[in-house]
Structure 1
């Protein structure tokens, strides 16, 4: 056994609980302590060798150690400064991840002192997500990556399979999104250009993809469920501004939400147009499509208010492609919605110029005309845009 000189005995107490109070056992006074080295195992480690370290004072030895879990008691094997037992005493580990498993150790000391100590062994899942996904973006060229990993103390994982279903009420079925078996140590699934045709799932925007990973070790299994809503491409932020007939601020740059004077011919992208509209400014590569009747669209987009609230740019692009292109709108009304497409030249030092195309929405709110010597019309609008990654 590991021997401690008298002036080291006080240090034994640090190996006991850091939350000791006066009612708890002082292991330094007992002349011995045991420390559980294997404090964590996975829920598949039902046949793992658990280990204690034995620490004693100079004149104390440990001759026996019994471990009890519920109604089951086993003798630990003591060799030198270590004691071992098999995790089978802990019973079924799957389902014990939240509270862990409690075990009691009773040790026979040569000095005759009674020794009993309780331990809680933490149980972890053998399979877990290393990188989860809040959502999958529909038909995006920017990949969304889901990564899982497996980890056990000694249990061998034979294979990891994957199942999928549509929505919470769906029925799980086998799937191989990588086209081959998953690596048992861990793997990643990249959702790229995800559409209703991907993997045969037939999932559209607003659907939810459920995945269930199953790790198998002999007759034991651990499973992990995760779900990912399918979302559209949208613009993250919007701007509320007032487009005015006032020539000191009648031009608007949509990318910066900045107003310019009528004499500025460089920075504006749209400008106010009589009587209560807007038009492209100068050579800006922009045009507009007015959104019409949406009653035949899904419930998510059957009004302009719903469409703008969802900010679904994929639907917006479809409406734009099918609509009549305009470069000017003379009269607007509260509640009108326009889809626009704009292409800008992006200049970056050391790199060639590139053309970047974005799609956006302009929603018309209040239109106010005042006559105080000079007629002034102001159109409240809300707008936003983003590049569609297709």
Structure 2
């Protein structure tokens, strides 16, 4: 057997076996050490060659290495400064991903000194979700991408199958979202323009799509599950401002939530309308639809408060398209909800259309030297993509 010379500050004949397990022999002048090179395998690698490096000082050799797992053991095959054994010793690997598998080794040395050492072998899942989706956005051209991959040491993955279900209480069924079998090495699944008709899933906003990937290797399988709620397009933030009959703050820009005086005609988009309402400012390309009875809508949107809290732009657009468009309202009430459509030209001379909601809060009229009315409004908007 080849001897490795150790060029450290320690004497050449000193190598220590250090282990926290009190049942093992530690801190002896052994003249040898072993290192488990194959420290991790996948849960499908039940027939993989595990490799151990042997390091010895001059005059010392390892004549045998026994590998023990529970009540089972094998003698590793030694060739030069390497020893090997088969992972079949480790038993079933699926389900061992959390804690790994513990083994112990007993090495017989030519100097007759006892040497035992323990190792923990990490067990990885053969399947992994490399890019999860927090959600799939309903009916948008923007792409939501899910990525999975597979990895083993030597096990051959025969195929990847995919199943889906609606919600946690659903029943899994086969699916091929790409129209063909999935690549056994991994693949991207891209969701775009997802609607209730996509893939035959019949999923709507508020539903959750579950995917279960199954990797098959001979008689073995590994599975991984991911869930993706279906969400609508929304405006992320809302602003609360006061639109007043006071001519120093009677106009508002909805894009920047900035109030302006009555003399501002370029930046303002809506303004106060007497006696207690609002209207479009100048040539702003905007109009409004007042939201009526919502009792026939889904439970998520069956009141003004629920619709505004959900900020669902797709529902807002549907209500806008079906409603009567107005450019002014002279008398509004607390709790009213208005949906608006506005088109602006950006600095690149492109027309951008956005949909928004305006929810009316407190309307306060004071009588002092002059009668003033303040309307508290909360609003938000976004482009539908």
TM class by smaller structure? over 0.9
Alignment of 1:69-84 (within 5 A): 69-84=69-84
What's the counterpart of residue 316 of structure 1? 316
What's the counterpart of residue 238 of structure 1? 238
> Residues 16 and 285 (structure 1 numbering): CA distance in 2 closer, same or farther, change over 3 Å?
farther
Q: Does 1:384 align with 2:375?
A: no
Distance 1:11 1:164 in 2: 62
What's the counterpart of residue 274 of structure 1? 274
Distance 1:152 1:27 in 2: 36
> Residues 216 and 16 (structure 1 numbering): CA distance in 2 closer, same or farther, change over 3 Å?
farther
What's the counterpart of residue 337 of structure 2? 337
> Residues 310 and 42 (structure 1 numbering): CA distance in 2 closer, same or farther, change over 3 Å?
same
> Residues 24 and 271 (structure 1 numbering): CA distance in 2 closer, same or farther, change over 3 Å?
farther
TM-score by length of 2: 0.96
Output the aligned Cα RMSD.
1.9
> Residues 37 and 13 (structure 1 numbering): CA distance in 2 closer, same or farther, change over 3 Å?
farther
> Residues 277 and 116 (structure 1 numbering): CA distance in 2 closer, same or farther, change over 3 Å?
same
CA deviations on 1:38-82 (whole Å, 9 max, x unpaired) are: 001000000000001111122211000011111111000010111
Residue ranges of structure 2 left out of the alignment (5+ in a row): none
Alignment of 1:38-187 (within 5 A): 38-187=38-187
TM-score by length of 1: 0.95
Further displaced range: 303-312 or 1-10: 1-10
> Residues 25 and 359 (structure 1 numbering): CA distance in 2 closer, same or farther, change over 3 Å?
farther
- In structure 2, which of residues 367, 370, 375 is the aligned counterpart of residue 374 of structure 1? 370
8 Å contact from structure 2 (residues 13, 58) kept in 1: no
Please state how far the C-alpha of 1:371 moved relative to its aligned partner: 1.1
> Residues 375 and 300 (structure 1 numbering): CA distance in 2 closer, same or farther, change over 3 Å?
same
What's the counterpart of residue 295 of structure 2? 295
8 Å contact from structure 1 (residues 15, 33) kept in 2: yes
Please state how far the C-alpha of 1:113 moved relative to its aligned partner: 1.3
Please state how far the C-alpha of 1:226 moved relative to its aligned partner: 0.4
8 Å contact from structure 2 (residues 31, 60) kept in 1: yes
8 Å contact from structure 2 (residues 41, 121) kept in 1: yes
What's the counterpart of residue 358 of structure 2? 362
8 Å contact from structure 1 (residues 11, 28) kept in 2: no
Distance 2:150 2:27 in 1: 38
Please state how far the C-alpha of 1:5 moved relative to its aligned partner: 4.2
> Residues 152 and 236 (structure 1 numbering): CA distance in 2 closer, same or farther, change over 3 Å?
same
Distance 1:142 1:264 in 2: 37
Aligned to 2:283, what secondary structure does the other structure show? coil
What's the counterpart of residue 188 of structure 1? 188
Distance 2:28 2:180 in 1: 57
Please state how far the C-alpha of 1:347 moved relative to its aligned partner: 1.6
Please state how far the C-alpha of 1:7 moved relative to its aligned partner: 4.5
CA deviations on 1:6-35 (whole Å, 9 max, x unpaired) are: 755579999966x85999754572221111
8 Å contact from structure 1 (residues 164, 209) kept in 2: yes
8 Å contact from structure 2 (residues 16, 28) kept in 1: no
Please state how far the C-alpha of 1:99 moved relative to its aligned partner: 0.4
8 Å contact from structure 2 (residues 166, 209) kept in 1: yes
Q: Does 1:4 align with 2:5?
A: yes
Distance 2:12 2:283 in 1: 81
Deviating 4+ runs (over 4 angstroms): 5-17, 19-28
CA deviations on 1:140-166 (whole Å, 9 max, x unpaired) are: 100100000000000111110100000
Distance 1:328 1:382 in 2: 17
CA deviations on 1:92-127 (whole Å, 9 max, x unpaired) are: 100100000011111001111111111100000101
Distance 2:365 2:74 in 1: 90
Please state how far the C-alpha of 1:2 moved relative to its aligned partner: 3.8
Distance 1:377 1:14 in 2: 88
